[in-house]
Amino acid sequence: MSDPIVSIRNISKQFDSVLALDDVSIDIRPGEIFALLGPSGCGKSTLLRVISGFETPTSGELLLDGEDMTQLPPNKRPINMVFQSYAVFPHMNVETNVAYGLKMDKVPSDEIKTRVATALAQVHLEDFAKRMPDQLSGGQRQRVALARALVKKPRVLLLDEPLSALDAKLRDAMRLELVKLQETVGITFIIVTHDQAEAMAMADRIAVLESGKLRQVATPEELYSHPIDGFVADFIGNINSFAVSSWHADNGQISLTAEHLNTVVLAIDETPAFLLSEAPASDAVLAVRPEHVTVSLTQPDENHVSLRGTLGDVAYQGQHCIAEIRLDNGTSISAIIDNALAKSLPSALEQAPIWAFWQANNMLLLPRKVD
Ligand SMILES: Nc1ncnc2c1ncn2[C@@H]1O[C@H](COP(=O)(O)OP(=O)(O)OP(=O)(O)O)[C@@H](O)[C@H]1O
Ligand SMILES: [Mg+2]
């Protein structure tokens, strides 16, 4: 495995009473698209600003290629940032906007010319060089901001919510374009987003943050199939969680009881450490993804984990539907079902009993939260 290009080591950032980053350590590899993901206020932008040098950490250090740059000002770091508001100068045309940073650096004018042309080609704006920003679409302005950053040939490009100002269709197209661009230029991208679908679609690896703490760093697949705790499982896609009330491990198996469920038996190599701690069993959850839940009018056999309820809202998603199954105690779970089944089920108004069931081995046994 290659040495990290950016090492974030035990970084904390205190703003008055808010601990925005709490002892965060991450290694980012050269050439990867790395996403910082988490709910609003979790510290994503603060971490990006610490990497760029616009914010000084309260403690910890930041290395680039193994060299400490914690005290270097932003303009001395081989790092460039595309801000969320993608500030382009309104009174300069596209070409002048892109050339601006190089002019400030006193780069010779013929070199500026070739580098600006290359950057504009990279973002497919060759034909827009003489346009003013107010003659561009939102997506095109976003590309100007990208070209302005790329032209400086940074080692690392930081992007804070780069697509959030774009409409849904353009956002999807730009996601793919950014991934392609990154493959072409080979620069390490660190992208901040609160949109898990965006992070999953673009990133090689994702760091999930919550309240300034790093929860998990993994590939999108790994985060989805092996979330470290209930928070990550819930943040990455939808999941149905049930609080565990008791458990018993024996002979490579663990039997668990959880709210609403019949006994769930899982094969295990060893009892998970979080169950062995002093914490009560209810700090553990059993969870199942909606795509593993089957819905039927008839009761399944005993080899399944099952629940009885009635149909709630059904949301049409194009390829399939997301159905809500309301349980007797007022809570509900969700299932992905095909459109034909959705049509054949009794309507929510009828309140007829239906069954939701799944295989025990599709369940995840997780700590509610890792501290
Ligand atoms: N300059 C500042 N002074 C005081 N508190 C700040 C400052 N900047 C950020 N914070 C606080 O630090 C926490 C993290 O903020 P940050 O901007 O990093 O969140 P974020 O994850 O980027 O959220 P969002 O998704 O809403 O952009 C928040 O509680 C925020 O209010
Ligand atoms: Mg932010």
CA of 21 to the centre of ligand 2 (A): 13
pLDDT for residue 84 is more than 90: no
What average pLDDT does the structure give for the chain? Answer: 91
Rg of the Cα trace of the chain?
25
**∠ CA(311), CA(261), CA(317), 5° rounding?**
35
Of the CA atoms within 13 Å of residue 71, those in its CB half-sphere come to 0
pLDDT in tens, 236-275: 988 999 999 899 998 899 999 998 888 899 999 888 888 8
Residues near ion ligand 2 (CB < 5 Å) are 45
pLDDT in tens, 321-343: 999 999 877 889 999 999 988 88
Instruction: Tell the residue nearest (CA) to atom 4 of ligand 1.
Output: 15
Nearby residues of 222 by Cβ (< 8 Å), 6 or more positions away: none
**What are the angstrom distances between the C-alpha of 148 and each of 75, 191, 193, 277?**
14, 17, 21, 52
Instruction: Tell the residue nearest (CA) to atom 9 of ligand 1.
Output: 46
Which structure tokens are listed for 284? Answer: 């553990």
Which structure tokens are listed for 271? Answer: 């009892």
Say what the pTM is: 0.89
Q: Within 10 Å of residue 252's Cβ, how many Cβ atoms?
A: 10
Position 281 scores a pLDDT of 64
Domains and CATH numbers, the chain: 6-230 (3.40.50.300), 238-371 (2.40.50.100)
pLDDT in tens, 143-170: 899 899 999 999 999 999 888 877 888 8
Closest CA to 250 of 266, 238, 235: 266
Position 275 scores a pLDDT of 85
CA of 18 to the centre of ligand 2 (A): 15
Enter the DSSP assignment of 261.
P
Site to substitute for ligand 1 among 22, 46, 85, most atoms within 8 A of C-beta: 46
pLDDT for residue 348 is more than 80: no
DSSP letter string over 247-283? EEEETTEEEEEETTPPPEEEE-SS--HHHHSSS-GGG
pLDDT in tens, 306-326: 999 999 999 998 889 999 999
